[in-house]
Structures are given as structure tokens and as C-alpha cells.
Structure 1
């Protein structure tokens, strides 16, 4: 167990894009931050699951790869010298006699802070796996739930299963390098950005993407971990085989809040309920932002998480600097320390 206790202004739980931007927002208000994340790197899902995935809804970036976005956010936070505690999970939050919060991790690190910002995304996450016989024998060799390097699929016949943004975005991206991309979905309507769906339709008309709709996964063919085909079926049971060297299954992530569920916060369907403005939780001094936070009208967009980070930082300021008036200034006026 750690013998020393770190003291800081704010602890941020989660080093994904929203957590990193919270470091910047707190720093601009002269608040020091420690950041804890279960992964051994910053970036959250952007780094762990899809570093090469293009993101299209970041202001001023018509398209930016997830890893590049994380690099820019870490660079933006760097002038404020955050302390990172990576590869460890917050297990316990305790209210101290001073009205502060003691944060304890599974590695014995203890951090005493005036406020806590939970930016843990969807908590501990894992892929929702399709219920296919023999699936485990192909996982990691020719069946995947994420794309780390686009070039890994160059020249291959790729079957993508799913109907959301990830499935559509990767169909568009991999169509540029794969020999063939086949997109399997149980209906013709996709739950993705309209512009992306329009591009998908255009590539399908050009023959660059095969639309396998309305079908759903029915089975896998191959041996020794290597796919040769993916069997698909209509709702009426009519089956066919789609030749494939690899399959990407995008059916979302299963959420597990882990220790967060035991912190005494108001939870709604595995999310933390917060009040606006400020993103305060039911516990004084604890705030939640990003995908883990919920409120009426919530949109799960990175740019909304950025806004929530700014709101939380401004709500925390009087806790860290009591009695000090906060005169709002634009960053173009006040600049950044060291700039």
C-alpha cells in the first residue's frame, strides 16, 4: 500500500478524449489535475479499439483519425502538467473530514482532491459477440471486433457485420484497401450519420462495397482459425455463403461500471445521472462527463463531452478557489501558460 498521499485540486477518472480535454479546461482555471485510467495508455476507446478510425464530427477537422485526435488533446493538456496514473482502476472514493475526496486505486495509489470528474466513457467495456458456433476458434486470427491497423486488411475479402456508425465508417475506409468489402445488416436502414450512409450508397452503386441486406449472421466456414466464408441468412431462413478472409463484427460494447456502481451515485441504466449546468452528480464534489453521464436531451458525441468538461471545470472552480471571483475570458484573450 502506498505510504504517501498525493494532494491535488481535481482527480479525473478516465483518460479518454473527454477526460484529456477536462485537464485543459481545469488548467485554464488554474486547477491542478491527476488522471487515473485502467488502460496503460491515454486515449480510452480511441486508442484501445480504433486508433485508425476516422472521426468526422470534430470541429475544424473534416476528418481526423482517433489516434491523431488523442495526440492533439494530450498536447493541449501538456502545459498544465497533469499527473497520470495509468494501468490502474479507481476502487474507492471516500469523503474526508475536510470535505475533500480520497481516491484509492487497485495499485495502492491515494489521491486527495477537492473534486472528482468521472470521464470513464462506458466504464469497463468489451464487445458484444454474435452467437455463432465455433466463434472462439476464429477470434483474433480472422474474426475481430476492432481495427487497430487498416493495412492489416489490405488485399483481403472483408465481411463487416453491423448497422451503426462503426460498421459504416469501416466499410467506407476499408473499401480503399481491401480486395472486397461486404456489409451484412438485417435491414436496409443504417444507424449512421446521413452523409456516411450517402457515401455508402454511392460506393455500393459503383460496386466497391457489396450490400448484404436484409441478412443476419448464421455461421462461419473455415479451419484452423482462418475464415473462408461467412454464412448469412434472411429472416425466412434462406442462407448463402459470402467469401471472406476476415470478419469484423460491430454490435456495440457491453458496459460494466465496475467499482463506479458502488460509489453511491444516482444511476440510470448503467449511466450516472447529472444535473445541468455543471454536470454535478448526486454526491457533492463529484461530477460526470462524456458517455457515462446522462441527462434529458443527452447526445453521446465527443464534442458534447468537450462542452460538459468546460461546464464541470467552471462548476468546480469555486470549490478549489473559494471567494475568488471567476471572470470569464476567452482563451484568445488569456492565452495558455507557457505560450
Structure 2
């Protein structure tokens, strides 16, 4: 315990001594773990300032200018002394505040370190990386079907902000970064593109499933962004919101492509030609919302033979049967027929050996 007794008696308190003592105590406190600082201040004595001229106006006494000048000079000296004391005291107070701030920061750092080391005593921190990885998979949002956006309020981005250890584990799990929602934002595209690229790099060769929202010339920017990862893309869901989009930039040269979903396609006549160019690896095709007739279906060859899952809207029932014949390996079909069943239509018996699921409207 360090103690300083600061005594201000009349107008002769030695402020400089107090400052030196305070600095010494700060030094001792920093190196010797002093737990408290006690400042005992005696009460300041107010001097008697009464003079024969204190009552104003004073008509009973004659005023001597020499006496008045002497009094004023004395008061000026007293005022200067008090101002000097106040200045010294403010220096002391500032020093105390600074010392207090340092001690608060020291306390906070000690508390932070203590809490960090306490966490290491928790069983959660002793979990093997493999177990923690499985927990992280279960943290992924469940309210979205497939794709995640780089939001700091949701996993996997949220997991990287908990602590350094969790960040290292999360960044080291490629499967957490294999699904991504991408949309061009012209206002800050450079920043958004950097964020998307950082996300995709963490996939480390893992198969990628992407949703792309395209408007105007967005396809150029998106193709440039995903080009380094083109061999990883196995699934694409593309929303087209303009007839100015260049779909060929997004639908060609995809060697590992397996799943395609198209929505809001503006240039319908070009759909069959792009689908017909899909690689033989394509297994799932969903073009619901676009109406297809028999001619359109026939133009998809040879893609049909490889498909195992289809979602499509057609005009007539006979096109539905034709579709089954075109797809010998089809196991799952979701189809909406625009026109009601025609009772005059003659249906020939047809057997499909692979179909397991049909949703028919």
C-alpha cells in the first residue's frame, strides 16, 4: 500500500512535490503490483480578505489610492498563486486519470487472458477436429435449400469469427464452402468479387454448387469470377432476369457438370440449343416454368439418355409419354402438364424399368 499525504496549507502547498510523488507511485505500481493508491487531501484554508474598504460605498472614510493599489497588488499575487496551484492540481488529476486508465486496461487484459484460458478447460475445446467439423456441418443454415451467401451472421462465416481456433478449423473444411449464392453488385463489385473468390478458394477442389443471378451483362463478370474453379462446378442454378444475358458464357465448358436448374429464362428459343450442348456428365435437369412441346423435347438429344432426374412443364400428355421414352435411365420425374387429359387419346402400353418417383400435375 502506497500512501501520499497531500497537504495544501494556505497558499504554500508544494504541487511539484506531489507530481513527483505521483510519478514515483505510478512507477512503483507498474513494476511492483501495487494494489491501491490513497490520496489524503487536507481542506484548503480560505484566507481572510476583509479590508477597511470591503463595504462599498463607504462614505465614512476617505479613500487612499496608495492603500487601494497595495491591496490590488496583494490580491493579484494571491490570485497568481492560486492559479498556479490549480494548474498543478489539474496536472495531478490528469496524471491520476491516466494512471487509472492504464490500470483499467491492465485489468481488462488480465480478465481477457483469464477467460480465454478458462475456455480451454471446457470439454468443447478438447474435442477432436473431426468431431468439431461434424458439428460445424450441422451449423449450416437449414432454411435454405442449397446455397449460402457470405453473411457474417450465419455459418460458415459466423464460425470463423468466434475465435482463432474455430476459424482455422472452419477454413480447413472444404465441404463448408462448396455451396454459394452469387449476384453482381455494381456499386461495390470489387469488394463483393473478392469475398466470393475467398469463399471459393476455401473449397480447395471440392465439388461446387452455385446459384447465379444474372441481369444485363452480369454473365461476363460471373464467368470471369468462376473461371478458375470451372473444373469443380457440378451444379448450377441460374436465374436470368434480362434478355441481354449471354447464357453461353455460363453453360459451356463444364467438364464435371451434373446438375442444371434454369429459372426466368427470357430468350426461350435458345434454351434447347444450350441444353443440347450439355456434357454427357449431366444427370439432373430442372427447367420448370418453361413450356415445352414435342419439337422442343426432341431437340434435346442426346442429353435425355443420360438424365436420371427431370423437372419440366409440357403442353400435352402424349409429350409426357414421349419424354419417358427419351429417358431410359430416368428415376425421378416432376412434370406439370398444361392441358387436361384427353379421353379421346389412345395410349399404347409402355414400360419404363428405371422410374422410381413421379410427381404429376
TM-score, structure 1 as length reference: 0.23
**Structure with higher strand content:** 1
TM-score, structure 2 as length reference: 0.22
**Structure with higher helix content:** 2
Greater Cα radius of gyration, structure 1 or 2: 2
Choose between structure 1 and 2 for higher RCO, CA contacts under 8 A separated by at least 6 residues: 1
